[in-house]
Structure 1
Amino acid sequence: MATQLTARKHGSAPPRRRRSVLARHDAMAGLLFVLPCLVLFLVFRFGPAVAGGVLGFFDYTIGGTAEWKGLDNFRRLWEDPVFWSALRVTLVYSLIAVPVTVAAALGMALLTRRAFRGVRFFRSVFFLPVITSLVLAGAIFRWLFSAEGPWTTMLGWIGLGGTPWLESSTMVIPALALVGVWSRFGYGMLILLAALQNVPRELEEAATVDGAGAWQRFRHVVLPQLRPALFFLAVIETTMSFQAFDAIYTMTGGGPAHASFTLVFDLYEQGFKYFDLGYAGAIGVALFIMTLVVALIQRLLLGRDK
Structure 2
Amino acid sequence: MRHRLRDPVTGLLFVLPVLVLFLIFRIFPTLGAAGMSLTNWNIGGEWDVVGADNYVRLWNDPNFWASLRVTLVYAAIFVPLTVLVSLGTALLLNAVIFMRGLFRSMLFLPYVTSFVFAGIIWRWIYEFDGLLNGLLTKVDLGPVQVLESSSLVLPALAVVSCWKGFGYSMLILLAGLKAIPGSYMEAARVDGASAWQRFRSITLPLLKPALFFVLVIETISSFQVFDTIYVMTGGGPAKASYTLIYGIYERGFRFFEFGYAATWGMVLFAIVLAISLIQRRFLGRGNT
Q: Aligned partners of 2:153, 2:137: CA distance in 1, in Å?
A: 17
Alpha-carbon shift at residue 24 of structure 1 (Å): 4.0
What residue identity is the alignment partner of 1:260? S
Find the partner of 1:83 among 53, 58, 64. 64
> Counterparts of 1:115 and 1:255 in 2: how far apart (Å)?
42
Corresponding residue for residue 304 of structure 1 = 285
Work out which of the residue numbers 280, 283, 287 in structure 1 matches 2:268. 287
Opposite residue 93 of structure 1, the aligned amino acid is Y
- Residues 191 and 233 in structure 1, CA contact (< 8 A), matched pair in contact too: yes
1:117 deviation in Å? 1.2
**Paired residue type of 2:76:** L
Q: Deviations over 1:11-68 (max 9, x none)?
A: xxxxxx7xx53x6455445434433332222112221122112211211112233222
- In the alignment, does 2:80 pair up with 1:113? no
SS at match of 2:161: helix
Aligned to 1:44: 25
User: Residues 228 and 302 of structure 1 are in contact (CA less than 8 Å); yes or no, is this contact kept in structure 2?
Assistant: no
Q: What TM-score comes out, normalization by structure 1 length?
A: 0.89
Deviates more, 1:266-275 or 1:113-122: 113-122
Q: The residue matched to 1:68 in structure 2 has which SS? A: coil
Do the aligned residues in 1 keep the contact of 2:38 with 2:54 (CA within 8 Å)?
A: yes
Aligned equivalent of 1:260: 241
* Paired amino acid for 1:81: P
Q: Paired residue for 1:150?
A: 131
Matched residue type, 1:290 = I
Residues in 2 aligned to 1:79 and 1:162: alpha-carbon distance in whole angstroms: 40
Tell me the percent identity. 52
Structure 2, unmatched stretches of 5+, are: none
Return the alpha-carbon distance in structure 1 between the equivalents of residues 26 and 273 of structure 2: 18
The aligned residue for residue 119 of structure 2 is 138
Deviation at 1:255, TM superposition (A): 0.9
Q: CA deviation at 1:282?
A: 1.0
Matched, 1:56 2:52: no
Q: Distance in 2 between matches of 1:233 and 1:59?
A: 38
Task: Tell me how far apart the structure 2 counterparts of residues 205 and 146 of structure 1 sit (CA, whole Å).
Answer: 50
Q: Give the secondary-structure state (helix, strand or coil) at the position aligned to 2:95.
A: coil
Q: Distance in 2 between matches of 1:299 and 1:26?
A: 30
Q: Which residue of 2 aligns with 1:277?
A: 258
Residue 115 (structure 1) shift: 4.8
> Residue by residue, what CA displacement relative to the aligned partner does 1:242-294 show, whole Å, maximum 9, x if unpaired?
00001110111111111111000000010111111111111111111111121
The whole-number CA distance in structure 2 between the counterparts of 1:202 and 1:37 is 39
Query: Which residue pairs with 2:158 in the alignment?
Result: 177
C-alpha distance after superposition, 1:149-191 (max 9, x if no partner): 1012112222321442011111111110000100111111100
Residues in 2 aligned to 1:154 and 1:118: alpha-carbon distance in whole angstroms: 31
Residue matched to 2:178: 197
Unaligned runs of 5+ in 1: 1-16
- The reply to whether residue 98 of structure 1 matches residue 72 of structure 2 is no
From the CA coordinates, give the structure whose radius of gyration is larger.
1
SS of 1:155's partner is helix
Contact residue 230 and residue 302 of structure 1 kept, 8 A: no
Measured in 2, the distance between the counterparts of 1:43 and 1:190 equals 29
1:13 corresponds to which residue? none
Distance 1:88 1:109, change over 3 A: same
Aligned to 2:210: 229
